[in-house]
Structure 1
């Protein structure tokens, strides 16, 4: 069974995106050797990158022409990717598959396959639909040392509380904090 790992950068006040779509300038505050090493390790471990429609569209618009991103761009463009969307007509980014239907059931099927880990980057709406069903095995967060005051929250309102267990916490040289949580069993 494959593991599903959610990776996101978020502000101290809980936003993974600023008030405008794709306002991610706070990512530059945390990018450094620790985050680069984690990113490289995650891409080596990934068997599939999974996205919701909005994040897929943004990533597909950025990575194919990304400059100065080195091996990260090569990995992002070559790894198998899937987008869960009932509104997209096609997924044109290299090595991408469009999945239509119930996201929860689609993810259950992906997790049941043999293979390396599934990573969800961004995709807060998709994550919000998966959380109540216990489909996320691990949350990896990098907290940026900034308060935005407003934006798009990473964790959407939920009907039930989800207990988490801290697996790792480490500071970055630039003031960010890398956190790893797993659902409490």
Structure 2
């Protein structure tokens, strides 16, 4: 059975994105060799990536049109892996190996039963909130960037049900960031 894992970089004050879509400038504060290695490790453990509509469109554009350069190995994984685009509004999903899912809360539990690798949700704030409310995440992985952004899009909103979590790992990065891994208790 697959594990559903959330992966996000957030600021110390809880923002995963600035005021505009794809305002991720704070990611540069924590990016380095350690996060690059973690990214590859996570992708190698995965057999499926799950995105909301906005993140799907942005990631598809970045990974299919971007320059591979230093990201060559990551780009190969991103373009080759099975992807799920969760959206009630998208009509098509043309990035390699993508399936379009209209109701993520209904479909994700079925998809978790169909494989053995990990399923990662990257970004996708609205989708992550829906999956959290439905209790579908097996693990939450966060990298805390050492900055107060002050405004933008919060990852966790009011309305997330009370849930006790168990710390699986806490690790400091040489960039000043902190990696945290939690599982439902």
3-state SS, counterpart of residue 89 of structure 2:
coil
Matched with 1:144 is 145
CA displacement 1:78-111 (0-9 Å, x = unmatched): 11101111100100111111112x2211111111
Q: Residue 169 of structure 1 aligns to a residue in which SS?
A: strand
Residue 114 of structure 1, CA deviation: 2.5
Quick check: 1:7 aligned with 2:7?
Answer: yes
Shift of 1:133: 2.0
> Corresponding residue for 2:39?
39
Q: Deviations over 1:27-81 (max 9, x none)?
A: 1111011111110100000110000111101101111122221201111111110
Q: 1:88 aligns with which of 87, 90, 99?
A: 90
TM-score, reference length from structure 2: 0.96
Partners of 1:94 and 1:112 in 2: CA distance: 22
Q: C-alpha root-mean-square deviation of aligned residues, in Å? A: 1.0
What's the TM-score, normalizing by structure 1?
0.96
Displacement of 1:4: 0.2
**Number of aligned pairs?**
183
For residues 75 and 87 of structure 1, what CA distance do their matches in structure 2 show?
A: 26
Runs of 4+ in 1 over 4 A off after TM superposition: none
What does 1:104-123 correspond to in 2, within 5 Å? 104-123=105-124
Note the residue ranges of structure 2 that are not aligned, 5 or more in a row: none
